[in-house]
Chain A
């Protein structure tokens, strides 16, 4: 299954909960925020929100800025 992750093609085994993607990417859930098809996914819903074929997924964190 193909998705677009942060603007790049990314392969997943199949429909995947956000929580699993975060874990697979070895990211700390409290350090990132996730958007699917331009809608923010609340942290409490990471387990239940499924990423599907063709989804546009953005995973962001904080960097230095003014």
Chain B
């Protein structure tokens, strides 16, 4: 269990917590939160350079690409075309071939546009990208994405930033069973609210958890990053250890014989 590793798109990671870099007070807090989380993969967004104010520092100055896999996302894209363009730009920045594919279908829920996500994944996989799609917790959609050659599937636990935790653990279990057959890692992406949510995802058998708001939005982000690190580790270890069956009635832990009379 000590050499338990996460394999993703040909790379090996020890940490099973993937963290976002949005919503922090400043880059220094981002850096400290990433450090406390122990994450080896961090997501970033692709946006226009501010031409009028170039004095601003660059996020990459605070993230060590030698130690961290920078995972660019296509957040904010509402069509396959936009997502594909964004992914191509991200790759040309030179950090990696990995992309967190996100094609949003609805502004209020931020649920993914499933047909557009599948379409974009098909194009990007053909272009050699290591595609990690953010997707609804729908087993058939996850199957399609895995069959297309995505290096992982990333079903949501709940709406992005909602902190509701795992709303459909049963779907997740089905997805996990199917993906284990195909040997495609499952990363729960979005909706985690606190440490127990992350632990639950890992106890179910997920390969990793991706979160941003749960850490960045906490009153003490650095402490929450640390909590999430421990939760993911504890959940993973509990999964590997194999939990006991649930029973309706008690079974005594102490010997029934040898009682005083």
Contacts and interface: CB of A to CB of B under 8 A. Distances in A.
Interface of A: 5-8, 10, 25-28, 30-35, 38, 40-43, 58-66
Interface stretch (B45-53, B118-126, B241-249, B252-260): B45-53
Interface string B72-93: 1101000000000100111011
B141 to A, nearest CB: 21
Give the size category of B's interface with A: 35 or more
B200 interface: no
Interface in B160-217: 160, 190, 210-213
A40 B44 contact: no
Most B CB contacts (10 A, CB to CB) among A35, A38, A62, A66 go to: A66
B148 to A, nearest CB: 22
Interface of B: 20-24, 27, 30, 43-49, 51, 54, 58-60, 70, 72-73, 75, 85, 88-90, 92-95, 160, 190, 210-213
A8 B44 contact: no
Given A30-B94, A31-B60, A32-B49, A63 B89 contact: no
B60 A62 contact: yes
Contact of B89 (A7, A10, A28, A58): A58
Instruction: For the complex of A and B, list the 8 residue pairs with the smallest distance between their C-beta atoms, beginning with the closest.
Output: A65-B45, A66-B20, A66-B212, A64-B21, A33-B92, A62-B44, A33-B89, A64-B22
Contact of A66 (B27, B70, B160): B160
A58 B92 contact: no
Contacts of A28: 58
A64 B20 CA distance: 7
Select the residue from A26, A59, A63 with max chain B CB neighbours within 10 A: A63
B90 to A, nearest CB: 7
A60 B46 contact: yes
Nearest to A26: B54
A27 B54 contact: yes
A34 B93 CA distance: 9
A7 B48 contact: yes
29 contacts: A10-B51, A25-B49, A25-B54, A26-B54, A32-B49, A32-B93, A33-B46, A40-B89, A58-B89, A59-B51, A61-B47, A61-B93, A62-B44, A62-B46, A62-B59, A62-B70, A63-B22, A63-B45, A63-B47, A64-B20, A64-B21, A65-B22, A65-B43, A66-B21, A66-B75, A66-B160, A66-B190, A66-B210, A66-B212
